[in-house]
Structure 1
Amino acid sequence: MRLLEIYRHPVKSFGGELLDAAELHDLGVKGDRRFMLIDANDRFVSAREVPALLHWRAHWHDDGSLLLVAPNGASHRAQLGADTLDVTVWDDTFQALLCAADTQAWLGTHLDWPARLVFVPDPSPRAVDPQYAQAGDAVSFADGYPILIVSDASLDELQARAGLALSMRRFRPNLVISATAPHAEDQWRRLRIGECELELVKPCVRCVLTTIDPITAEPHPEREPLRSLIQYRRGPKGVTFGMNALVRRGGLIRIDDPIEPLA
């Protein structure tokens, strides 16, 4: 088995970056989901509610800086401010750093609705669900876990059932791996990828975001592929596709790295 693709999403719900290599650390792929838009109630805003966010891009640089790119091609290098505030992602409320006033003003000229950009520091104050984690495990602005893994065989199975060609970007994974059987990742508990080790802790419950085309930002008229997933991937905790994971040994990973299940 091999590592096929690496994705980073520097801003939650913006379009992702396809990488040749990446550093993994406690918060997942370095730079992944470290920024997020919030509404007037300091709650996260995602492409579930605003699909047009998928047309935005963000580029994380090794020095920790972020380049924002609007759908019209206009760009801005985000600046951090000094103010903190409590923000909410699902049921978690925790402190984040508000970006500087000039960054908020630039966003205001390119968004047609009010939003502010925030940043989560490292270490993150947001804990992973203790039911699936150890004390001290943290996550950034991802929905719940630092890493999402999906195999190519799982996508192939879903495409066959739905009768559709589907981009892996629709499922917003961090790591895409080769596998000999669909959903083989469900059975793994620990993986070695290059010099890194991951603990796979929970199937990823999928939502309406999977029905939105990542290129057009338009929903599928028949709610595919969620409708097909419901037919064969519905479990007691929801409809699942892919596995959430925690980084147990960090380091550098590269495309085509060997993958070895350890448990």
Structure 2
Amino acid sequence: MISVNQLYIYPIKSLQGISLKKTKMVDGGFEYDRVLMISEPDGTFITARQYPELLKLKTSVMNNNIDVSISSQKAITINFDEFSKNNEPTEVWGNHFTSQIASIRVNQFFSQFLRKDVQIRWVGNNLTRRIKRYPQIPISFADRYPYLLLNEASFNYLQQKCPIKLDIRQFRSNIIVKGALPFAEDAWKTIKIGNVIFDIVKPCNRCMLTTLNFNSAKPLANNEPLNTLRYFRADEQGKIDFGMNMIARNNGSISVNDPIEILERQPAKNYIKNFPTETINETQPCIITFEGRSFKGNNKQTILEQLEHHKIALPYSCRSGVCGRCLIKLKEGKISTLKQSAEKRNNHILACSCLPNGNIEIGLIKKVANKNS
């Protein structure tokens, strides 16, 4: 029997989640799920993609307040009555809406923690954010959809393929199910849990947030698990999927051990299967030269990871070859790509999706000055 194995909410976007035995749906998702978010002063969202240390902060809900703690010591209590009554412009992934700003006390705590001026935002009692694809569906501060489902058997299959130890919480799902075959969820279209009917919208595209250790907030070796997922969960555009985004048709409640009924199925998405040969696992040393500085490297870690290991910072957002921010120039040598789109024209390559294939020389892309300026 397929049933619910674990339930999670994340009261503050990008902070640690809370395991629940039972929860209920409200407008926007699970009650208290991603109702708060850290933002720039102009309302642009901030996540652990840019500031991994946010993953060290734990949250709990008590008497309609949200407590934040560091290393088991309570740091601050956030009371919803302290938020402004004004609706301020807010943005998440190009989706523009309004939210309410926390008190100076709360904003100063998070500004001190991140060492930059930030604000805490609340979605408010009347959600103004909507899903672009489903304008009738309200949503909190979740990336794009209110619910994320993960199949425990699919995770176990990934763990068998992945060379390092993973934690299922890295994938920040709301509902973890058990009793299904690996990746059976690919073919689900509509399911029922308790008295709630869910529509599965699309597979969840994965980014670098999954590569961070759940407790230390440090990157895992070899860009895992994205590196392993690329071999069997990448589509023709190079997007890596794991888990399913969902919307709910009605409000209600669900509990751990609730049975899951498959109401409707659909054709599963096709993925490129390209499992590595044994030779890929053999580590070969090489020399990487970046902007005149040389150091010892290898053919197993991405160029971005190896630069970071030697305190050389490149801009990035996704670490999965989508955003394009880590674009550099390959001056000499050869590379192996983790996805076809990682190699561009004029020897431009994405550092997050390329591995050295012998000694290489790389550098920043020089911008050409405009003669008319």
Q: TM-score, normalised by structure 2?
A: 0.66
Partner secondary structure for residue 262 of structure 1: strand
Matched, 1:148 2:151: no
Q: What does residue 25 of structure 1 align with?
A: 26
Shift of 1:40: 3.5
Unpaired stretches in structure 2, ≥5 consecutive residues? 265-373
The equivalences for 1:97-176 within 5 A come to 97-130=100-133, 133=134, 135-176=135-176
Counterpart contact for 2:6–2:177, Cα < 8 Å: yes
Q: What does residue 92 of structure 2 align with?
A: 89
Q: Which moved more, 1:201-210 or 1:24-33?
A: 24-33
Q: What does residue 255 of structure 1 align with?
A: 256
Q: What does residue 68 of structure 1 align with?
A: 68
Q: Which moved more, 1:219-228 or 1:113-122?
A: 113-122
Deviations 1:49-71 (A, max 9, x none): 1111001122234x542222245
Counterpart contact for 1:81–1:101, Cα < 8 Å: no
Following the alignment from structure 1 to structure 2, what is the Cα–Cα distance between the partners of residues 5 and 73? 26
Following the alignment from structure 1 to structure 2, what is the Cα–Cα distance between the partners of residues 68 and 81? 20
Q: Which moved more, 1:121-130 or 1:104-113?
A: 104-113
Partner secondary structure for residue 234 of structure 1: coil
Q: Counterpart of 1:76 in structure 2: which amino acid? A: I
Shift of 1:72: 6.9
Following the alignment from structure 1 to structure 2, what is the Cα–Cα distance between the partners of residues 48 and 56? 15
Q: What does residue 182 of structure 1 align with?
A: 182
- The structure whose Rg is larger is 2
The equivalences for 1:239-254 within 5 A come to 239-254=240-255
Q: Counterpart of 2:93 in structure 1: which amino acid? A: W
Following the alignment from structure 2 to structure 1, what is the Cα–Cα distance between the partners of residues 166 and 221? 15
Following the alignment from structure 1 to structure 2, what is the Cα–Cα distance between the partners of residues 129 and 230? 28
Q: Which moved more, 1:98-107 or 1:153-162?
A: 98-107
Following the alignment from structure 1 to structure 2, what is the Cα–Cα distance between the partners of residues 93 and 249? 25
Following the alignment from structure 1 to structure 2, what is the Cα–Cα distance between the partners of residues 121 and 81? 10
Q: Counterpart of 2:261 in structure 1: which amino acid? A: E
Cα root mean square deviation, aligned: 1.6
Following the alignment from structure 2 to structure 1, what is the Cα–Cα distance between the partners of residues 106 and 231? 44
Q: What does residue 11 of structure 1 align with?
A: 12
Q: Counterpart of 1:125 in structure 2: which amino acid? A: T
Following the alignment from structure 1 to structure 2, what is the Cα–Cα distance between the partners of residues 76 and 92? 29
Higher relative contact order (CA 8 A, sep 6+): 1
Q: What does residue 44 of structure 1 align with?
A: 45
Q: What does residue 220 of structure 1 align with?
A: 220
Shift of 1:122: 3.9
Unpaired stretches in structure 1, ≥5 consecutive residues? none
Q: Which moved more, 1:39-48 or 1:152-161?
A: 39-48
Following the alignment from structure 2 to structure 1, what is the Cα–Cα distance between the partners of residues 225 and 219? 10
Matched, 1:58 2:88: no
